């Protein structure tokens, strides 16, 4: 997989969510991603920045356009220095929430994208990477 462009955005407050979604949309449109896949990608991205703001107060997102073979895609990497997730398997379960919320952000996001990777260390932070192929 080759990275064609790389962009980054700091997420510090609620008001950053909409501009961030717009930025992701720009890249998705640029590679010709269809509306349904765009909507899935942006919704997934929205869930993850919300988690970032809620659980880690702030963070940073890397936005890449990647290519593999003939397929292009958008890859997003969410990096925060928040509390980390003690039990990832549990956090990935539908309905699991430490904040009496719906607990569908992480499992739902995973369903919406083609690749989903999560790394987390308690006391250090969380890194989540998602990838959506143009025709994925």
Partner 1 sequence: MEKIPILRMGPFLLVTIQIDLYDRLALNLEADLVQMVNKTGARGVLIDISAVSIVDSFMGRIIGNIASMSKILDAETVVVGMQPAVAITLIELGLPLKGVHTALNVEKGMELLKSKIGPEEESDDDGDAD
Ligand X SMILES: Nc1ncnc2c1ncn2[C@@H]1O[C@H](COP(=O)(O)OP(=O)(O)OP(=O)(O)O)[C@@H](O)[C@H]1O
Applying CB under 8 A, which residues contact partner 1?
Answer: 14-15, 17-18, 21, 35-36, 38-40, 42-43, 46-47, 50, 94, 101-102, 104-105, 107-109, 111-112
- The CA-atom distances, in angstroms, between 2 and each of 6, 38, 70, 75, 103 are 11, 21, 11, 11, 33
Angle among Cα 125, 20, 122 to the nearest 5 degrees reads 5
CB 76 within 8 A of CB 20: no
Residues 6+ apart with CB under 8 A from 100: none
Q: Looking at 8-16, 25-33, 63-71, 103-111, which segment touches ligand X (CB under 6 A)? A: 103-111
Q: Phi and psi at residue 70, in whole multiples of 5°?
A: -100, 0
Site residue total, ligand X (CB under 6 A)? 22
**In contact, 80 and 58? CB cutoff 8 Å:** yes
> Of partner 1, Mg ion, ligand X, none, which one sits near residue 52, judging by CB under 5 to 8 A according to partner kind?
ligand X
Among 97, 121, 122, 135, the residue binding ligand X under the rule CB under 6 A is: 97
Does residue number 105 form part of the binding site for Mg ion (CB under 5 A)? Answer: yes
The one of Mg ion, ligand X, partner 1, none whose footprint includes residue 99, by CB under 5 to 8 A per kind, is ligand X
Residues engaged in binding ligand X (CB under 6 A): 47, 51-52, 55-56, 80, 82-85, 91, 96-99, 101-106, 126
């Amino acid at each position: 997989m080759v990275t064609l462009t790389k962009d980054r955005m700091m997420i510090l407050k609620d008001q950053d969510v909409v501009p961030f979604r717009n930025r992701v949309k720009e890249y998705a449109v640029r590679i010709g991603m269809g509306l349904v896949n765009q909507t899935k990608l942006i919704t997934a991205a929205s869930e993850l920045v919300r988690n970032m703001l809620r659980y880690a107060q702030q963070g940073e997102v890397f936005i890449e356009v990647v290519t593999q073979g003939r397929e292009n895609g958008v890859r997003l990497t969410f990096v925060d220095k928040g509390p980390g997730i003690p039990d990832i398997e549990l956090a990935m379960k539908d309905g699991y929430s430490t904040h009496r919320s719906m607990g569908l952000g992480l499992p739902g996001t995973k369903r919406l994208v083609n690749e989903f990777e999560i790394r987390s260390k308690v006391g250090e932070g969380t890194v989540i990477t998602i990838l959506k192929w143009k025709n994925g």
